[in-house]
A and B are shown apart, each in its own frame.
Chain A
Amino acid sequence: MIKLEQLFKWYSQGNNRSFVLKDINLSIEAGDFVSIMGPSGSGKSTLLNVIGMLDEPNEGKYYFMGEDVLAMKTKKRNQLFQAHMGYVFQSYHLIDELTVYENIETPLIYKNLSSADRKAIVSDLLDRFHIVGKKDLFPAQLSGGQQQIVGIARALAGSPKVLLADEPTGNLNSKQGEEIMELFTQLNKDGVTIIQVTHSEKNAAYGHRILEMLDGQIK
């Protein structure tokens, strides 16, 4: 499903190139659950961003569902990724002015779904994550764990094939973290491919395999 070949990413600092990703070769099949680990600054977030096309590599090849992503037109690429990827962030990144319901609904609005369809999907997600009672609250009125659940619900609203999560439990206590991991395991069983970055050995163990990163390289 995802295939990276000889991928490089660097930042130019004066005449020097400081490499953040060095010769990454990686292949992830549909239905996989991958955990990425490694010390701070080793390039985990960068790798995840490149996989999600939030960031572009400087060199190398990236195939997503058999297509050469970097050769595509930006518009088409955006459509492809928005249709198939969901993102979960360490600090949730919910929109402060919108309620729980509206936050989950936002990506559906961008997909031009009818309001009836949106309603059906959002209600279903609220149900599934047991947050129906919280639907009219604002992010600031929720605990960190609850906010992350809303974040995951929002990421799943567009029924993505791949879920990218950058330290989804980083701001949560271990109990809340466990709940999120249970949720991921369940989603993975339902067929969603999951790639997560984590610092916790315990949470990493929920994945089928663990990638160790060091200085921009996968060990």
Chain B
Amino acid sequence: MLSHIKSRIPRLLRSPISWVQLIGFAVAIATATILYLTAMFELSFDSFHTNKERIGLLYMRSEERGAIISNSSMAPPLAPLVSKELPEVEASTRVLNAQMMLRHGDKEIASELKYVDASFLKIFSFPMDQGNETALDNQDGLVINEAMAESLFGSKQVLGKAVELNINGNWESRIITGVSSVNPRNSSISFSSLMRFEQSPNYKELENDWSYKNHAVYVKLKAQSIDAAGFQKATVAFINQHEKVAIEKLKRDGAKADANGAYLSLRILPLKDVHLSDIGKGEVETSKFPWILLVISGLILFIAGSNFVNLSLASAMTRIKEIGTRKTIGGSTFQLFMQFWMESAFICVLSLLLGLALASLLLPEYNATLNYQFKIAQLFSSLNISLFLAAFLLLTIITGGYPALRMANVNIINSLKGKSSVKSTYLQNSLTVLQFSIAMILCIATVIISYQLHYLSNRPLGFNKTEVISIPIGQGIDANLAIERMRNTLAAYPWVKSVSASDINLGRGRDGSTSTSRFGFDQDGTEIVTNYLTIDYDYLKTLGIKLLAGRDFDRQHKTDENAVLINKEMADLLGGPEKALNSTLEMDNNPTIVGIVDNFHFHDLKREVGPLTMGLPIGGFDLSYIFVRIHSSNLQQSLKQVEDTWKSINPKASIAASYLDENTQNLYNNDRRIAKIVIAGASVAIAISCLGLFALTLLLINGKIKEIGIRKVLGSSITNIILLLSKNFLMLIGLAFLISTPIAWLLMTRWLEAFAFRIAIQWWMFALAGGIALGFAMLTVAWQTFKAARVNPASTLKEN
């Protein structure tokens, strides 16, 4: 047997079919490997915590004005009460995001700080380098990670050493009570320092405030696993007691109760779903992203596998006489089977090696584009290896064994006469239809996703995003002072048109943060929930937002410190622009509405605009982003000059400035990532499907060489022959189109539903995708048949 394969290798390597098999399969393996790595990474989030089955994130759910609202921001009193009053809960911890400047000697570094409870280190299993889970048991405990330690001290051995923290502008000294490892990349909670929640700003005032919700709460249950529905029932009384005021308001304002009759319910999201879930809009849903990846990689492997079968059959066809001869000289069916199986196993092994090599070549580029850190070596875990081995064995048995069985069972007499043809069967036709359906679905998805993304980036946002630079102010400098200095310095440049600021960025800037702040208040007896934006003077001018009525904030009007601007949506809530203008809002300080602006998209386009109130930074939130409108022919250079100015004002600035165009694009990074993967998947699927078609054409032509010759002798034109041979494939591809269209329509309609602003699916998108697939397929078939049709009949009709 081995000697057989040895003698076959040179012939295998000379046959173009083997190469098509090899390359097709290798590309599929490379693609599937990369997608598999990605999916496994996404699914592995937070799996390193020992108690992962028992940990969950709390969120509240209500339904107001027809919109379901899920919110994981909690009030400070909640977590301690949850631990105390709910018997199901073993421990809970609050987690508040913040930034903190740390100093040691002349080294000063901004750290990503989480204010947490002492139980944080006990609930989670973040690996500790020094110290242990009791590190935060004392109020003044401070944990930093080893990277922080390294940059501050030049050493990881910093337990018990003192470091200075910048608290409200003053440097205070703290003793380091623990050093943690750098968070694993698959951790949904990331930090470079930890402090007790009680140390957070304004803790004393907010300790018992149920209306100020700014942090997440994680709980560890006593049960071995999380029963989300059970938890929700168990917390009904708790929520009714502590959120009485909120519930009354919801009832009064016509909110809807959920299936259990609760207006506001406390729910739990298992830790394993936290990374993939989006809490905020609508019902909490876990993203299917990793599963989409696994499905796509499975589909690609499936396409490649069925191709392998077709190609093996096609090439076996040319050896039908050899098989007949081998059988007459005593080769058993089993021996023939083994021979074919070994041949395909040989090609499979080569494909695997080539595929892995290809994957490791592609990974650096892939990592760079999609911001991952995968290595091929990660594949060699015992789970992956056994999975791969099993899949590989199955694949070779099917791909090698099936054609082997078909060929081995061929009738001896017929095969000796060279008459028997292994015709394309029902199975092969179905496989082709399936392959092309898959490829076309991916193609249609590609067209629709690309079009939607194009639509999003070109939709008017209500503000002018071009030529506006956004600068995150960051920690370590007084915001108002910084803005003042920027205004004064930039005034020297003629190309700087105006400077303003706000507390929330537009789009997603280089600091990676997006947020909104909302709150409700009672106006004329109903609760109005509005988004709130703290802005500086010249905001409308800088961002090109249209004023509909009234005026912008004005430094001349001293009373503007207690005035607000609202958007049209908000004005409509208040009974229309006429009524709203110059009236007062019944929120803190009762500000007067001095202006109404047109709606603009301060969120991404997945959401409707929503009501918005904007006020100057007095007593409200701090300004965090500076906006600079410029007018310049060299945007790159202007950005640099603005940045240089900013560096001279705030030398500690660590986050780069960026244009708003870029920021608004960044909002859809996730969608763009899915788009890229779907497009890549579609291309690979189409390429491999066409290889499959190539095989089938070859198979068909092999069986029809004589018929083609006869027909030519009888007077058929080449066009006629091409038509005759490709008619069947055209039908199969047409069938695939019919199958893929409704499926793609359904899938894409669901995907588009996530966007408040979306394109309508149109017939030409299907036509385009179908056309692309059909075009490639026809090229493959027509080329092959053309070659076959041109062959001189004298050579194919030779008598033997």
Contact = CB atoms under 8 A, between A and B. Distances in A.
Interface string A42-80: 000100010000110000000000000000000000100
Contacts of A93: 706, 709-710, 713, 797
A107 B797 contact: no
Among A45, A110, A170, the one with the most B-chain Cβ atoms within 10 Å of its Cβ is A110
Interface string A72-99: 0000001000100001011101111000
Contacts of A49: 794
Contact of A95 (B707, B794, B798): B707
B793 interface: yes
Nearest to A49: B794
A95 B714 CA distance: 11
Contact of B715 (A111, A166, A167): A111
Contact of B714 (A96, A106, A166): A106
A15 B38 CA distance: 58
Contact of A55 (B707, B711, B716, B792): B792
B670 interface: no
A106 B711 contact: yes
A106 B795 CA distance: 21
B794 A107 contact: no
Contact of B799 (A78, A95, A166): A166
A106 B724 CA distance: 13
Nearest to A166: B799
Contacts of B793: 54
A107 B713 CA distance: 9
Given A45-B799, A91-B799, A110-B720, A158 B715 contact: yes
Contacts of A90: 799
Contacts, number: 45
A118 interface: no
A107 B799 contact: no
A205 B794 CA distance: 27
A95 B724 CA distance: 13
A96 B420 CA distance: 12
A56 to B, nearest CB: 8
A55 B792 CA distance: 7
Interface string A23-52: 000000000000000000000010001000
SS of B interface (majority): helix
A93 B797 CA distance: 8
Nearest to A48: B794
SS of A interface (majority): loop
A104 to B, nearest CB: 10
A147 to B, nearest CB: 13
A82 B710 CA distance: 12
B715 A95 contact: no
A82 B799 CA distance: 21
A113 to B, nearest CB: 11
Chain A: interface residue count, which band?
20 to 34
A101 to B, nearest CB: 15
Contacts of B797: 54, 89, 93
A95 B716 contact: no
A82 B715 contact: yes
A49 B799 CA distance: 12
A54 B799 contact: no
A110 B715 contact: yes
Interface in B673-727: 706-707, 709-711, 713-717, 720
B221 to A, nearest CB: 70
Nearest to B707: A95
A55 B794 contact: yes
Contacts of B715: 78, 82, 107, 110-111, 158
Interface in B757-800: 792-795, 797-799
Contacts of A167: 799
A82 B715 CA distance: 6
Nearest to A167: B799
A55 B796 CA distance: 11
Nearest to A96: B707
Contact of A110 (B706, B714, B798): B714
A69 B540 CA distance: 86
Contact of B794 (A54, A91, A94, A154): A54
A45 B797 CA distance: 11
A13 to B, nearest CB: 16
B175 to A, nearest CB: 90
Contacts of A158: 715
A110 B716 contact: yes
Contacts of B799: 45, 89-91, 166-167, 170
Contacts of B710: 93-95
Given A54-B797, A166-B799, A167-B799, A154 B714 contact: yes
A94 B716 CA distance: 15
Among B713, B714, B793, the one with the most A-chain Cβ atoms within 10 Å of its Cβ is B714
A111 B799 CA distance: 27
Nearest to B792: A55
A170 B799 CA distance: 10
Interface in A140-178: 154, 158, 166-167, 170
A111 B720 CA distance: 12
A49 B713 CA distance: 11
Nearest to A50: B794
A54 B720 CA distance: 18
A110 B720 CA distance: 9
Contacts of A107: 714-715
Contacts of A78: 715
A116 B487 CA distance: 93
Nearest to A140: B419
Contacts of A166: 799
Nearest to A82: B715
A60 B95 CA distance: 96
Nearest to A112: B715
Nearest to B714: A107
Contacts of A110: 711, 714-717, 720
Contacts of B798: 45
B714 A54 contact: no
A154 to B, nearest CB: 7
Among A45, A54, A87, the one with the most B-chain Cβ atoms within 10 Å of its Cβ is A54
13 contacts: A49-B794, A54-B792, A54-B794, A55-B792, A55-B794, A78-B715, A93-B797, A95-B711, A107-B714, A107-B715, A110-B720, A166-B799, A167-B799
Given A49-B794, A93-B710, A158-B715, 11 more contacts: A45-B799, A54-B792, A55-B795, A87-B713, A89-B797, A90-B799, A107-B714, A107-B715, A110-B711, A110-B714, A110-B720
8 closest Cβ pairs, A-B complex: A110-B715, A55-B794, A54-B794, A82-B715, A107-B714, A49-B794, A90-B799, A93-B710
Interface of A: 45, 49, 54-55, 78, 82, 87, 89-91, 93-96, 106-107, 110-111, 154, 158, 166-167, 170
